[in-house]
Structure 1
């Protein structure tokens, strides 16, 4: 089973030096981009503009933000009325000759057509910025009050002595009508158009921003705003402002030109958190099923939990309900305010798509009541019983006339592509066909996904030839018989079950000290897709899972963060592609007694914490600094003297453990958070 509970026991013997962290970077950077798109629900060509803007944002994540300004003759006041007063002001500040049109960082006084947006954005993204902007917004859901802090740091000199700071609130996922919506199918949901990044309000004192000065290199400007988020915006036929779908942007414009302040010098999306003055306030930001090829009813979902309360979050208990069946889970750890933790949950899911609910029922020992809905799917598979450790298949694909539209692939549990083919050629006859035969071999006890695609969406039959596909075993028996009439995609899951036996041996443990040990094992007679060790203390009932970084016949894993003077039980395992698990014998080890007390450890300072790029360690007689991730894997080692700097720029956001050792062999471990 997967690891559901994270138990962390670390020695806190360092003197922690906390440095106040700014949101904004002081390093020079290139410009970010704001694309203000002037649009409306009665504009038939506007969805194509939305599509282009979406693609620009996808191509430049965290660098470009589109703002849909609904104003002008194509923006009706019927429900949902997406017009706002500030949007009309901005719309009227530019010369607009048609819709959709837009301004890219307000570099022009006239809006430009959608065909020019990509090149204009690329040009701006490659220009150096004279400033950086960043911030944080905290929304109290009980009062609907957002507290917004914004920082602007000048890495160069602006050409103007006065600039203009703008903070805007946008909203996603507003359902309503849209002329020409089907030309942007990704935003069509059950016949309605899902309107995205809609300008709802400007929070600064003017739609064109508020003055900031000085604007010279090295200047840091801070602004704080308290903003009560309206229940509804728009008159008449206004739209509810859903707190779960709002976000904030900030940008700095250079100067006033006619009505508008332009050009925009740079911009950012402000980090948005749900927060409260309450000491305990955990909430769930999302629950997503882990994608992948699976021939098992055991499914994994990742729940993202955030701490919006004032106090550190150390223990949370959950209930997970699917189809009336309730299971319980528990998380233990350390989560400071506004930090997130991803928790992987294992669920037993019947065939089909099911609605589920995750409830937080207890936090830090106190009763709690919060829930988040989600969906989880278990696709049906066919069982194929074979002998031996490998099986050979033959795939026959009879293409129709348009073979250039057809591709296929066979993938396994861990994403391995065992075979693939296409596109093929387009044939001369109107109903011509051609047979393609492919042979491939896969290991037994694997879960296979056969997928056949047609990029036009009309399959491989029927008006353009009677195409089909068949999958056969080594004896020529037809396992899958498809008629080719499948639209865009046909897919089939196959669980290959072999009578070949696999054995797993658990290796003896090597205890490294009070909190660390090396465990492992070996396997024979099979082809697993994952190997590792299950372990627990003798007093626990739930195993924790540690997975090896790669599959090899002999493997070992270093466990860290263990409790000193404690007996641990462990056993090696190997998991096959169809989710069969073979275990080795259970063994035990006992960690060493920790003779280093709080006053006799390594005297050191570790700062800043949290950190964005570099962690500094200062102390006396320091020999080595090691950084471990939350899985106990060593990710960084620095060997130096009394002052060390550890570069963590390449580490993912999350919690890490910095272990400092001196020349006498004493050690201290401290938890450090990496943020961006």
Structure 2
């Protein structure tokens, strides 16, 4: 079987190319973050996977990608987190988001379905690429999960149903020194994804019939990106030295609708992950430590009030 190597394994391939957003937290919020006890693990962990699957309603093969992504998550339920991003021509301006469109461009996505696996630049048959066909997602993901993460992340979230305000507490602990380019550093990323969105989808009835309702002729979309509340590039973590504990609470009012689709609070998940580098410059890197890879990830616990 052909082996697909991530640059963490074949780093010389990258080196050969060449020998964030401010926040307006008030003082009260900052004091609250300082007082909150540490709940993130300080024991070194292996890397988790964020599968960003680029898809669209007019993409006939995309349901097969959805199915393979779901199977990967089922196999590694505590290590794989899915974000399905509707973008590009096959999306037909349906379910799209500004952040998803920006990332679609940044990672050079041209075919659908395509997966970006933890934002790694991967050696596929001698060619370096972020955009991977669905047949290699598991192969690449299992290799990434064998490697240590130099940072752990944990999160707790609350949504006030009356105001629709999300409060997302995030903690990151650096178990080792950051490997990021010092000029770019590390960032925190918070994605809101939604399940149970019924709508049109080419190929849904034949390629993923478990998600198809023949009575309504509609397809159930899951893990759909609704927003990155930290923006497409994430928000900078100010200190990434070994032993550093980063704590911050983010607040965001969830709209009633996004891209003309109702945002149902009970169907949301909050995915939190740490990256290095700048995702929006993914195709412009000159050094391995600029690859905007995901270091570690988690699903935030979510309670309602």
Per the normalisation by structure 1, the TM-score is 0.36
CA distance, structure 2, for counterparts of residue 33 and residue 131 of structure 1: 14
> 1:164 and 2:194 equivalent?
no
> 1:175 and 2:198 equivalent?
yes
- Quote how far apart the aligned CAs of 1:96 are: 2.0
- Calculate the aligned-residue CA RMSD, in Å: 1.5
CA distance, structure 2, for counterparts of residue 151 and residue 239 of structure 1: 31
What is residue 192 of structure 1 aligned with on the other side? 218
Aligned 1:270-349 pairs, distance under 5 A: 270-275=300-305
1:311-339 superposed Cα distances (whole Å, 9 cap, x missing partner)? xxxxxxxxxxxxxxxxxxxxxxxxxxxxx
CA distance, structure 1, for counterparts of residue 110 and residue 304 of structure 2: 41
Aligned 1:441-590 pairs, distance under 5 A: none
- Quote how far apart the aligned CAs of 1:22 are: 2.6
1:152–1:220: 8 Å Cα contact kept in structure 2? yes
1:210-265 superposed Cα distances (whole Å, 9 cap, x missing partner)? 1113212211001111110000001xxx1000011011111111112662471111
Correspondence for 2:227 among 185, 201, 226: 201
Once superposed, which parts of structure 1, at least 4 consecutive aligned residues long, lie more than 3 Å away? none
- Quote how far apart the aligned CAs of 1:95 are: 1.6
1:130–1:265: 8 Å Cα contact kept in structure 2? yes
Point out where structure 1 has 5 or more consecutive residues left out of the alignment.
1-18, 276-676
Instruction: Go from structure 1 to structure 2 and tell me whether the alpha carbon gap of 1:158 and 1:194 turns closer, same or farther (over 3 Å shift).
Output: same
1:166–1:209: 8 Å Cα contact kept in structure 2? yes
What is residue 96 of structure 1 aligned with on the other side? 109
Rg larger for: 1
Report SS of the residue matched to 1:74. helix
Report SS of the residue matched to 1:207. coil
2:166–2:254: 8 Å Cα contact kept in structure 1? yes
Aligned 1:214-253 pairs, distance under 5 A: 214-234=239-259, 238-253=260-275
What is residue 100 of structure 2 aligned with on the other side? 87
What is residue 133 of structure 1 aligned with on the other side? 153
CA distance, structure 2, for counterparts of residue 258 and residue 232 of structure 1: 26
CA distance, structure 1, for counterparts of residue 80 and residue 143 of structure 2: 12
- Quote how far apart the aligned CAs of 1:20 are: 6.7
What is residue 31 of structure 2 aligned with on the other side? none
Aligned length: 250
CA distance, structure 2, for counterparts of residue 195 and residue 116 of structure 1: 22
- Quote how far apart the aligned CAs of 1:174 are: 0.1
Q: Which has the higher helix share?
A: 2
Instruction: Go from structure 1 to structure 2 and tell me whether the alpha carbon gap of 1:267 and 1:83 turns closer, same or farther (over 3 Å shift).
Output: same
1:515-559 superposed Cα distances (whole Å, 9 cap, x missing partner)? xxxxxxxxxxxxxxxxxxxxxxxxxxxxxxxxxxxxxxxxxxxxx
Point out where structure 2 has 5 or more consecutive residues left out of the alignment.
1-34, 122-128, 283-290
Per the normalisation by structure 2, the TM-score is 0.79
What is residue 237 of structure 2 aligned with on the other side? 212
CA distance, structure 1, for counterparts of residue 244 and residue 37 of structure 2: 16
CA distance, structure 2, for counterparts of residue 124 and residue 61 of structure 1: 15
CA distance, structure 2, for counterparts of residue 66 and residue 145 of structure 1: 23
Report SS of the residue matched to 1:223. strand
1:176-210 superposed Cα distances (whole Å, 9 cap, x missing partner)? 01000021112113431000000000111x31101
Q: Which has the higher strand share?
A: 1
CA distance, structure 2, for counterparts of residue 46 and residue 140 of structure 1: 34
What is residue 120 of structure 1 aligned with on the other side? 140
CA distance, structure 2, for counterparts of residue 95 and residue 144 of structure 1: 34
> 1:255 and 2:250 equivalent?
no
1:23–1:136: 8 Å Cα contact kept in structure 2? no
1:145–1:226: 8 Å Cα contact kept in structure 2? yes
1:470-508 superposed Cα distances (whole Å, 9 cap, x missing partner)? xxxxxxxxxxxxxxxxxxxxxxxxxxxxxxxxxxxxxxx
